[in-house]
Amino acid sequence: MGTMTDFIPVASPLAQTQAYAQEIQDAIRDVVNSGWYVLGDYVSKFEKTFAAFLGARFCVGVASGTDALILALKAVGIQPGDEIITVSHTAVATVAAIELLGAVPVFADIDPVTRCLDPSRIDDLLSDKSRAVVPVHIYGQPAPMKEIKAIARQHGLKIIEDCAQAHGAEINGIKVGNFGDAAAFSFYPTKNLGAIGDGGAVVTNTAEIARSVKALREYGWEKRYVSSFPGMNSRLDELQAAVLGAKLPYLARDTARRRSIAGRYRKSIKNRHQSPPADVKGTLHAMHLFVMESKNRESFRKFLKDAGIDTAVHYPEPIHKQPAYAGRIRGCDHLAYTEKLYKSIVSLPMYPELTDQQVDKICTTLKKWDLICRKK
């Protein structure tokens, strides 16, 4: 039925670039003509404005979200062999970053409502090597940070928030990125604030951690060409910072648009075979992804596809099921809800540039499926 031109993709970085074409072109031309391409004025300016957007004190631009996790963990003092409690229900980057540092991931199950780390699981996973918790605000839904903080404080654990999917998400009016020792953001093109390449940032309210990440991202330099300690190269380039800076003023508006689309989807899903993501009291969901649950997922996906609507599964397998990690991560045999959830999740198209007509079409199709399910 749907031709290629009216097929609705799950995400569309191109639609976003087109929406802000003028601002982006101007920013790019300026950088190209400036002759300064890595860690310059655009990066410093973006760091300041993104920190201000979050209500945080410091932001340090780095090369990717994965690097942001690595550098944040390193800056809070994580050493090879240290155990980090996190989740299996996440993007692989969360776990890859921990292992790249030589640290050891340990998996806690998720909470069925938030689909984020279940704080009541932390106690059982503690050992004398436990050093940190990495909660992931998955899909843009904030993790229960108050409970996680209470347990972390009790056991002297550092907290690094994985905010790669949650730019602008809030808990009681405070933006995520402010609830731990440091936070990692990604600016991969499909994220809520996306570059036209790779990018990331470490956000913190602690001057010492910011200083440390700043040095670590460039060979451990505190003074140019002089390494105070061993570092790496994970710099943000000026082109990406300029594009991010051009788009940041629209992020709040874009998030509101995502949430309004999600509201319409919610109203169109009302049968016992399917459920929309929970609307968790006291939190503002950034709606990076609209991930619903469907008991008959494959036929549901086919029904949408035939109507010209793409869907995706984030993610087809939790980390502890993937060949690189299977059977070797502590905690992996106690992930009942993680094991249950991944089989039914399905992501609907979600980006601010979806037109009202496209949203109408998706809602109409959801309602048709609703009727079919009710008859069953």
Ligand X SMILES: *Cc1c(COP(=O)(O)O)cnc(C)c1O
Interface contacts to ligand X, rule CB under 6 A: 64-66, 90-91, 93-94, 136, 162, 164-165, 186, 188, 198, 200
Rounded to whole angstroms, the Cα distance separating 104 from 85 reads 9
Query: In this structure, are residues 193 and 247 in contact, taking their beta carbons and an 8 Å threshold?
Result: yes
DSSP string of 269-338? Answer: --STTEEPPP--TTEE---SSEEEEETTHHHHHHHHHHTTB--B-S-SS-GGGSTTTTT-STTTT--HHH
Q: What is the Cα 59 distance to its own chain's centre? A: 16
- The closest alpha carbon to 290, from 347, 344, 343, 251, belongs to 347
Rounded to whole angstroms, the Cα distance separating 254 from 68 reads 24
Give min distance, CB of 191 to ligand X, in A.
6
The first and second tokens of residue 231, run together, are 């570092």
Query: In this structure, are residues 169 and 142 in contact, taking their beta carbons and an 8 Å threshold?
Result: yes
Of 90 and 268, nearer to ligand X (C-beta) is: 90
Rounded to whole angstroms, the Cα distance separating 198 from 150 reads 34
Of 2 and 197, nearer to ligand X (C-beta) is: 197
Of 320 and 361, nearer to ligand X (C-beta) is: 320
Of 240 and 311, nearer to ligand X (C-beta) is: 240
Give min distance, CB of 100 to ligand X, in A.
11
Give min distance, CB of 139 to ligand X, in A.
9
User: Which single residue brings its beta carbon nearest to ligand X?
Assistant: 65
Give min distance, CB of 186 to ligand X, in A.
3
Give min distance, CB of 271 to ligand X, in A.
30
Of 66 and 344, nearer to ligand X (C-beta) is: 66
Give min distance, CB of 355 to ligand X, in A.
26
State the DSSP code for 2.
-
